[in-house]
Amino acid sequence: MNELETFAENHKGWLFRGHRCPNWKLTTTLERASKRCCVDQIKYERAVWGEFRRHAHSYGLARVPGDSDTIEWLALMQHYGAPTRLLDFTQSFWIALFFAFEEAESDCAVVALDPSSLAEDEAGKDYNMVVRENIDHGLHIDDFLRKTVPFYTNERLAIQKGIFVYSLNMRRPFHDLVLQNEKKFRILTVCASLFTDIRNKLNEFNCNSRVLFPGIEGYAWYFKNHTF
């Protein structure tokens, strides 16, 4: 546990992501879905993007983003499980550790990414429009990675201290762009022998599915990884 605490302390201010398997690459749900369906990633995203926005209003959402709110639309899609170009990170090492070990059956990992190695948004540029034109027309392509949070967040994203990292180049695998641009990232392998201690420590922090996933669903999931 000391190694975990030291890693968290030494990487304050970084972004974190939990992986159930240490050898997983940084890949988006869009990459995985388009590959599984044997469809070009650009065409796949464009189709999902159009269909989701066309029908989302019929599912009783408390809020439907405006037509120009591209980032909020993508975050909403990600929230409900649609494949997107967004890759989830959190600003909390311990929350990332929870996602890494929650369903792991052997060693897992936490990936730490230095946000200062990501591209900065240009002042005055509307990235809702940039991303929209990138999806619809393939404009603004570059090999940088950027971070974003929608202006209107949801409860789960706020509680999980979530932040998204995304690319404007759907021709390149996300992980390749991380390596090409020499992003500063570290991978900490977490031994399965620590899982009991991790469970106890995270519960002390109230870092479990009952808290991170508000509602009856998160409460039910809580019992999958809980001892009385």
CA distance 171 to 42: 8
Q: Give the pLDDT confidence score for residue 154 in this predicted structure.
A: 80
Instruction: Give 176-219 pLDDT, tens digit per residue.
Output: 998 876 668 899 999 999 999 999 999 888 899 989 988 898 88
pLDDT over threshold 70, residue 71: yes
β-bridge mates for residue 112, sequence order: 16, 186
Torsion sign (Cα): 46, 138, 89, 190: positive
User: Is residue 63 classed exposed, middle or buried when 0-12, 13-18 and 19+ CB atoms within 10 A define those classes?
Assistant: exposed
Confidence check: pLDDT of 137 > 90: yes
> 47-56, 85-94, 141-150, 219-228: which has the minimum mean pLDDT?
219-228
Q: Indicate the pairing of strand 145-148 with strand 15-19.
A: unpaired
Please give the pLDDT value at position 43: 96
Distance CA 168, CA 145 (A): 8
How large is the average pLDDT for residues 22-34?
96
Least confident window among 24-38, 106-120, 195-209: 195-209
Please report, for residues 21, 120, 152, 194, 206, the alpha-carbon distance to residue 24 in angstroms, rounded to integers and kept in the order given: 6, 27, 31, 20, 27
What is the arrangement of strands in the sheet containing 185-190, beginning at the earlier edge strand?
Answer: 145-148, 162-167, 87-90, 15-19, 108-113, 185-190
**Average pLDDT of the chain to the nearest whole number:** 92
Using CA atoms, how far apart are residues 127 and 215, in angstroms rounded to an integer? 32
Amino acid 221: pLDDT: 86
> What are the two backbone dihedrals, phi and then psi, of residue 9, each rounded to the nearest 5 degrees?
-70, -40
The pTM for the full model equals 0.92
Q: Considering the chain, what percentage of its residues have pLDDT values greater than 90?
A: 75
Q: Provide the pLDDT for residue 182.
A: 60
Least confident of 38-52, 56-70, 74-88: 56-70
| Section 46-65 average pLDDT | 92
